Amino acid sequence: MKKRGLSDLFFLFLVLYLLFPILATALYAFATNWNNTILPEGLTFKWLASLFQDTSFIEAFGRSVLLSGGAVILAFIFVVPAIFIIVLYFPKYEKWMQTAVVMVYAFPGVILAVGLIRTYSQLGIPMILAVLGAYVISILPYIYQGTRNSLRNVNAKQLLDVAELLGASKLQAYLKVLLPAVYPGLFAGALLSFSVLFGEFVLINLVVGSRFETVQIYLMKKLSTSGHIASAVVFLYLVLMGILTISISILTKRSRGVAKT
Amino acid sequence: MSYVMIENLHKTYGASTVLSTIDMTIEKGEFVTLLGPSGCGKSTILRIIAGLTDATSGTVNIDGIDMQNVQPKNREIGMVFQSYALFPNMTVKENVAFGLKMKKIDPREIDEKVREMLAIVHLSDKGNAYPNELSGGQQQRVALARALIVRPKVLLLDEPLSALDAQIRKKLQSDLRSIQMELGITMILVTHDQEEAMAVSDKIFVMNKGGIAQRGTPTEIYTKPESEFIANFIGHYNVFTRAELEHMVGMKLPSECAKFAIRPEAIYFEAGAKNFHMSGIAIESVMSGNVIRTVFQSGERTFSVEQLHHRGHFVEIGKAYECYVEPEDVIELT
Ligand SMILES: Nc1ncnc2c1ncn2[C@@H]1O[C@H](COP(=O)(O)OP(=O)(O)OP(=O)(O)O)[C@@H](O)[C@H]1O
Ligand SMILES: [Mg+2]
């Protein structure tokens, strides 16, 4: 009994420890003045509103969406078909996929940044494209896991076989049977990748910096000028991530329901 | 010329031979079973017939057409898998309708045929359900309906009932057989359950290690096993070497065979005119519903006897009994 109470207490502390800064930040984003009091003196929407009136924020947001979304779309055009083919037809090469996935985890952002600058600045390729390329590679783990699990869950090979025996062409089997069946899993992988890239700071800051100002870089700048606005940015970011997380969990649940036998 | 003719089929994966010299003929409207232990190549044969796997050599001929260069989608062969393989994002109706849609049949006609088919598999009330809302048995009925609706020339069933519990399995076995009779479709069932094979088939091919060990009607297979493998696989046969059996019955046997098999239910306790006679001490007795199976020790060997369960246990463990068997029930193995 006593032990239980103690561990509950620890858990409560942990939750508070983790939640407190988030709550405080969110509150700060709506506080009029919060200097000498325990709680803010008043609440206001003006920080949030000013954020939406600031074109450089809107542009930064747009750039972030463009960059992260672009990387995800590129990955879906070039990487996902490759994963399909490997998982379905050449399963013995999956170990190379897994090695590639581990390598992605193994390289810290800083080293990657130095590598990118060294290699590509001399070749005259715009650095933002180099970052985009690195992004496409860096989401490989999420995309690979998501795709492979979906294919395994629905027993993709057999679905394709059945569709063909029922008179579908290979293309019809893919488009009408396999893709709709694995779509929730793929989409969850895409959202996850997007949210990871959206929060990326190290690479973009070191390689491109303020030449391509994303939300993260905008946030960094605002930290030194206005705490309230920076808090408002963080608040918006958290809301966005919350929505993405919920969507991912709904989609994952759906794809599991689909696979239930 | 038979409806399905498989000649000289070989299949190798790298250095390992999976199928060697498979020859099979199947008549139109027949229900045949491929029976064999795990890994003997049953699924591989089905996949080759369906065109999903290429044979290393040999021919598959269906309804007079050599299937060599015919794509799976044009073979008019249906297949049902152990894991159902239903399309998860489609309702039962959409699953069943899929084959007809691929044939671009008029939607109203599809509707009607789907309704008919669902009635045949007793799922009329589940048309709008998704696969994950159905039990295993129901899912397998959908898979069956989906395969049957296009009226395939041959329906291949790869252990379709293995994932189901005993009761539903029995029910689906008899459903499967009656649907097959009703529609007159040629079916090839793969199973490793000899009871299932006996219950539904016109003809059984017993496979072992990539070859066909014996073929025949269920009765032929059961009463005339040709080899020790069949005798062991098909029932609880007692298999004896010549020396063992001669020692047990206490006399020289007229036959020259090296091994013999005796069905456990062919051994009984009342002496007759021409019986062989063997004595044994009861060491174990197991009752499984209507059958009591008793194991007797006789010298070095044991043998088992199965009797219908009339009035409770009739043997006492540890006691010696006299057992009898007719000479014609002693089967010579080659
Ligand atoms: N793609 C493959 N590559 C290599 N070997 C294979 C392949 N497919 C099957 N085999 C081998 O072929 C043999 C026969 O396989 P098959 O699936 O036909 O057996 P089965 O009789 O259906 O067994 P089970 O009752 O377990 O389903 C097995 O030894 C298997 O390892
Ligand atoms: Mg198999």
DSSP string over A64-130? HHHHHHHHHHHIIIIIHHHHHHHHHH-GGGHHHHHHHHHHHHHS-HHHHHHHHHHHHHHHT--HHHH
- Name which residue leads in pLDDT, A47 or B196: B196
pLDDT value at residue A207: 86
Atom of ligand 1 nearest to the CA of B42: 21
Ligand nearest to the CA of B53: 1
What residue owns the CA closest to ligand 1's atom 11? B18
Residue B82 sits in the same domain as residue B140: yes
B237, part of any domain: no
Closest residue of chain A to B47, computed from CA coordinates: A161
Q: Does A261 touch chain B (CB under 8 A)?
A: yes
pLDDT at A182 over 70: yes
B47, part of any domain: yes
A208 token code pair: 């491109």
Of B87, B89, B102, the CB nearest to A167: B102
Provide φ and ψ at A180, rounded to 5°. Answer: -60, -30
A33, part of any domain: no
B290, part of any domain: yes
Last residue of a domain, one of B172, B201, B232: B232
Q: Which of residues 146-165 of A touch B (CB under 8 A)?
A: 154-155, 158-159, 161-165
A185, part of any domain: yes
- Ligand 1 pocket check for B38: Cβ under 6 Å: yes
pLDDT value at residue A223: 83
pLDDT at A259 over 70: no
Contact A168 B102 (CB under 8 A): yes
pLDDT band at B311 (very low <50, low <70, confident <90, very high): low
Amino acid symbol at B319 = K
pLDDT band at A164 (very low <50, low <70, confident <90, very high): very high
- Ligand 1 pocket check for B41: Cβ under 6 Å: yes
pLDDT at B3 over 70: yes
pLDDT value at residue B143: 96
pLDDT over 70 percentage in chain A? 96
Of B73, B88, B98, the CB nearest to A169: B73
Question: How far apart are the C-alpha atoms of B148 and B78, rounded to whole Å?
Answer: 7
> Which pLDDT tens digit goes with each residue over A23-76?
888 888 888 877 777 777 778 888 888 888 888 889 999 999 999 999 999 999
A99, part of any domain: yes
Closest residue of chain A to B149, computed from CA coordinates: A166
Amino acid symbol at B132 = N
B185, part of any domain: yes
Of A159, A180, A257, the CB nearest to B85: A159
Q: B301-308 and B259-262 as β-strands: parallel, antiparallel, unpaired?
A: unpaired
Range of the domain at B103: 4-232
pLDDT at A260 over 50: no
Residue B185 sits in the same domain as residue B320: no
Number of domains in chain A: 1
Shortest alpha-carbon distance between residue A151 and chain B (Å) = 12
Residue B171 sits in the same domain as residue B302: no
Question: How far apart are the C-alpha atoms of A135 and A113, rounded to whole Å?
Answer: 11
DSSP category for residue B291: E
pLDDT at B248 over 70: yes
Q: Which of residues 31-90 of B touch A (CB under 8 A)?
A: 50, 52, 71-75, 77-79, 81, 83-85, 87-90
Atom of ligand 1 nearest to the CA of B37: 25
> Which pLDDT tens digit goes with each residue over B280-299?
999 998 888 888 899 999 98
pLDDT band at B305 (very low <50, low <70, confident <90, very high): very high
pLDDT at A18 over 80: yes
How confident is the model over B83-103, as a mean pLDDT? 95
Mutate to test the interface with A, among B82, B102, B105 (most CBs of A within 10 A): B102
Provide φ and ψ at B227, rounded to 5°. Answer: -140, 165
- Ligand 1 pocket check for B37: Cβ under 6 Å: no
pLDDT value at residue A3: 66
Contact B88 A161 (CB under 8 A): no
Residue B218 sits in the same domain as residue B264: no
Q: Other C-beta atoms within 10 Å of B184: how many?
A: 9
Residue B299 sits in the same domain as residue B196: no
B63 token code pair: 């309804």
Ligand nearest to the CA of B158: 2
pLDDT over 90 percentage in chain B? 77
pLDDT value at residue B272: 80
The CATH number linked to B69 is 3.40.50.300
pLDDT value at residue A261: 38
Mutate to test the pocket of ligand 1, among B34, B44, B190 (most ligand atoms within 8 A of CB): B44
Q: Cβ(B148)–Cβ(B76) under 8 Å?
A: no
pLDDT value at residue A257: 52
Q: Cβ(B99)–Cβ(A166) under 8 Å?
A: yes
A192, part of any domain: yes
> Which pLDDT tens digit goes with each residue over B255-289?
888 899 999 999 988 888 788 889 899 999 888 88
How confident is the model over B200-213, as a mean pLDDT? 95
Contact A258 B81 (CB under 8 A): no
Mutate to test the interface with B, among A152, A160, A186, A261 (most CBs of B within 10 A): A261
Contact A181 B87 (CB under 8 A): yes
Q: Look over chain A and give the mean of its residue pLDDT values, rounded to a whole number.
A: 87
Q: Does A206 touch chain B (CB under 8 A)?
A: no
Range of the domain at A130: 55-260
Residue B106 sits in the same domain as residue B12: yes
CA dist B323 to B250, B263, B313, Å? Answer: 13, 13, 16
Q: Does A258 touch chain B (CB under 8 A)?
A: yes
Residue B124 sits in the same domain as residue B192: yes
What residue owns the CA closest to ligand 1's atom 2? B13
Give all strands (DSSP E) within B86-180, no chain letters. Answer: 154-158
Residue B113 sits in the same domain as residue B21: yes
What residue owns the CA closest to ligand 1's atom 7? B13
The CATH number linked to A86 is 1.10.3720.10
Residue B225 sits in the same domain as residue B287: no
Which residues on chain B are in Cβ contact (under 8 Å) with A258?
88-89, 132
B242, part of any domain: no
B247, part of any domain: no
Residue B206 sits in the same domain as residue B265: no
Number of domains in chain B: 2
A35, part of any domain: no
Q: From the CA of B44, how far away is ligand 1's center (Å)?
A: 6
Question: How far apart are the C-alpha atoms of B33 and B160, rounded to whole Å?
Answer: 12
Residue B175 sits in the same domain as residue B300: no
pLDDT at A83 over 80: yes
A186, part of any domain: yes
pLDDT at B103 over 60: yes
> Which pLDDT tens digit goes with each residue over A210-243?
888 888 888 888 888 888 888 888 888 888 888 9
Residue B150 sits in the same domain as residue B226: yes
Which residues on chain B are in Cβ contact (under 8 Å) with A181?
87-89
Among residues A71, A94, A66, the alpha carbon closest in space to that of A190 is found at A71
Question: How far apart are the C-alpha atoms of A225 and A219, rounded to whole Å?
Answer: 10
CA dist A211 to A63, A108, A128, A230, B269, Å? Answer: 11, 22, 9, 20, 99
pLDDT value at residue B31: 96
Question: How far apart are the C-alpha atoms of A42 and A52, rounded to whole Å?
Answer: 21
Mean pLDDT check: name the lowest of A254-258, B111-115, B128-132. A254-258
Q: Other C-beta atoms within 10 Å of B66: how many?
A: 11
How confident is the model over A192-212, as a mean pLDDT? 88
pLDDT value at residue A252: 75
Q: For chains A and B, count residue pairs whose Cβ atoms are closer than 8 Å.
A: 73
The CATH number linked to B291 is 2.40.50.140
